[in-house]
Structure 1
Amino acid sequence: MKYQLRHTTHYDYSSPVTLSHNEARLLPRDLDYQHCKNTRLSITPTPLRQHERLDFFGNRIVYFAIQDIHDSLEVTIRSQITTQPRPAPAGDEVHTAWEAVVEQLAPGRGGIATAIDPDSLEARLFTLNSPFIHRSESLRQFALDCFTPQRSLCDSVLALNQKIYQEFSYDAEYSTLATPLEDVLKDRKGVCQDFAHLAIGALRSVGLAARYVSGYLETFPPPGQEKLVGADASHAWLSVFIPNWGWLDIDPTNGSLPGERYLTLAWGRDYGDVTPLRGVMNGGGAHELTVEVDVLPLES
């Protein structure tokens, strides 16, 4: 699949800004199943300084500083993205019992007598608590409905994906970044970010490694209606680590495995590691935020 991606973030400030320093995580990743070209980042007003780097997780970050007095900020990313089918979970590795994987990822393994492969060692970071996701007994019990004794890791993960999809309601008005996971679990509703955090918290609470993924999903208008410009939105899902196989993406919001319609932007421990745009400034007062996203399919 080929897509033209456009993501515009616009801030209007109630009073002038005299100086701002910002980081944008808006440049999509190049992956085995995703290739980007003609990627352009446009910033208004024009920054005095701008440079790109990779963060700890390999995400592309653009730092920029604006010193001209301004009362608005607009950042737009455009990129042509080609996606391919992702590897399906197959082989002996995906049939390993989940308890064996927990044991392999547990702290303390990996000494001289119990060598551990580098990928599993790196994945241990994603078994730990993070700012938005804390392991808990309630999340562990929620996961254990799917992680029954000696069940394969892959089957257990797919069952958890379906459990969240079937038992939780999508409610765009329910949560904010400050809504605790325990509330999402109790009230059985939220948005894609909540469901990704919930699944990650459940997986980490049983000792598995899971990371947060941000990106976009091609959407379709209602039958008989045209697709509105700027009507698409960012999306969130997660990846689960399978030793000796890799990271398996799941989307509990839709109860599916991400495929060619999913465009990957960045990943990290939770939403805080992949915030699209953040910074500090002098002045500005209150602000009004507008976000427009288009994921437009292109002819092959």
Structure 2
Amino acid sequence: MNENANDDAQIRYRVRHLTEYRYSNNVAVCQNQVRMQPVTGGNVTCERTDLSIAPEPTSRDEHIDYFGNRVITFSIEAIHKSLTVDVESIVAVSAQMTTETQPSPEWETLLATSPDDLRRPMIDEHRFGSPRITPSEPFAKYAVGSFTPRRNIIDAALDLTRRINADFKYDTTATTVATTTKEAFTLRAGVCQDFAHVEIACLRAMGLAARYVSGYLRTLPPPGKERLIGADESHAWVEVYAGETIGWLGLDPTNACLVGTDHIPVCIGRDYDDVSPMRGVVLGGGTNTLKVSVDVEPIEPRERTSQASGSNGAG
């Protein structure tokens, strides 16, 4: 079975994520964290990633967080009325191992990992509640229709993914970044963040390990139309632990599909709170306007770049 959105063996991309803030009054000090740079791990190889900030930061540090994500922390301690963060990366994305040659275990066998599995703590922690997700009986009741006895994990999880896509309306006006998972579930509406949170809540309510993935999705223009620069979007989807052979299986409830090579993962976590692209505080500034542009461009295999130093496995 291969139901990836794109079944090419590997695709290379140049990704640019541009964030621009404009302030009505002067900002005296700002402090921010950025999680927009891919790292090598899983089905992604990060060949190069660069981040530029204007104005020039007073201080800038880098670390790898608990989940393996690359984090840039910076402060600007000078008067400014704008802030620009520009991230450009070159990555190669491989297809998931979900063909008919891969054994797909029954979902009940995944309710506990083997005591001998050294990855057990990093798997088991994704079975429980997190800041934005509380697994509960309503989610279990919804999910049980997909997780019938002895059904294999791929079929069951993909069925749940498709049901969420069919039952929930994609509506950018229905929710905000602060909408809770319970509220989105009741509304049966939202955006990719909400769809991902709902599916994770359902999977965890069934006792499975599921985690949140933020990244980018290549969008294809209509036939005969040019690709619009900056028209691609940040995206969110889900990974469920599918056993030692398959590992973490990517599911996209917004598009009712398994994750394919059109999906470019950047960060993983328990939910959105662990992976928000940029967060921070400012002193002053008045009101602000935010402009975000994301461009995902496939590039030819013959183009070569040097391996980025500091690229770390994200699990």
Whether TM exceeds 0.5 here: the answer is: yes
Q: Deviations over 1:84-110 (max 9, x none)?
A: 2221266786223x22322x25xxxx8
Q: How does 1:65-76 map onto structure 2 within 5 Å?
A: 65-76=75-86
**Which 4+ residue blocks in structure 1 deviate beyond 4 angstroms?**
89-93
Counterpart of 2:53, as a letter, is I
CA distance in 1, matches of 2:238, 2:71: 20
**Alignment equivalent of 1:101, drawn from 106, 110, 120:** 110
1:191 CA displacement: 0.8
Aligned to 1:48: 58
Aligned to 2:149: 149
CA distance in 2, matches of 1:31, 1:243: 17
1:257 CA displacement: 1.2
Contact preservation (8 Å) 1:13, 1:285: yes
1:196 CA displacement: 0.5
TM-score, structure 1 as length reference = 0.91
Contact preservation (8 Å) 2:31, 2:73: yes
CA distance in 2, matches of 1:2, 1:122: 29
Aligned to 2:3: none
Contact preservation (8 Å) 2:19, 2:293: yes
Aligned to 1:250: 251
Aligned to 1:171: 171
CA distance in 2, matches of 1:88, 1:202: 22
CA distance in 1, matches of 2:15, 2:81: 27
CA distance in 2, matches of 1:34, 1:153: 23
Aligned to 1:199: 199
Aligned to 2:72: 62
Are positions 1:78 and 2:88 aligned together?
yes
Contact preservation (8 Å) 1:93, 1:243: no
CA distance in 2, matches of 1:210, 1:127: 6
Q: CA RMSD in A?
A: 1.7
Q: Deviations over 1:181-231 (max 9, x none)?
A: 233223322111111101000001111110000000111223333222211
CA distance in 2, matches of 1:186, 1:19: 40
CA distance in 2, matches of 1:127, 1:32: 20
TM-score, structure 2 as length reference = 0.87
CA distance in 2, matches of 1:206, 1:38: 39
Aligned to 2:127: 127
CA distance in 2, matches of 1:264, 1:90: 24
DSSP-derived class of the 1:239 partner: strand
CA distance in 1, matches of 2:88, 2:102: 40
Are positions 1:22 and 2:32 aligned together?
yes
Q: Deviations over 1:231-282 (max 9, x none)?
A: 1110100100123231111111111111211111100000110011111221
DSSP-derived class of the 1:118 partner: coil
Aligned to 2:182: 182
DSSP-derived class of the 1:94 partner: coil
Could you list the runs of 5+ residues in structure 1 that have no partner in the other structure? none
Contact preservation (8 Å) 2:96, 2:249: no
Greater mean alpha carbon deviation, residues 86-95 or residues 257-266:
86-95
1:120 CA displacement: 2.8
Instruction: Report the identity percentage.
Output: 42
Q: Deviations over 1:41-85 (max 9, x none)?
A: 010000111121100000000111111110110101011122222
Contact preservation (8 Å) 1:93, 1:242: no
CA distance in 2, matches of 1:294, 1:137: 40
CA distance in 2, matches of 1:42, 1:6: 11
Aligned to 1:136: 136
DSSP-derived class of the 1:175 partner: coil
Contact preservation (8 Å) 1:11, 1:287: yes
CA distance in 1, matches of 2:199, 2:255: 13
Contact preservation (8 Å) 1:211, 1:268: yes
Contact preservation (8 Å) 2:105, 2:243: no
Aligned to 1:288: 289
Counterpart of 1:99, as a letter, is E
CA distance in 1, matches of 2:102, 2:91: 33
Q: What is the count of residue pairs matched by the alignment?
A: 290
Contact preservation (8 Å) 1:93, 1:244: no
Counterpart of 1:219, as a letter, is T
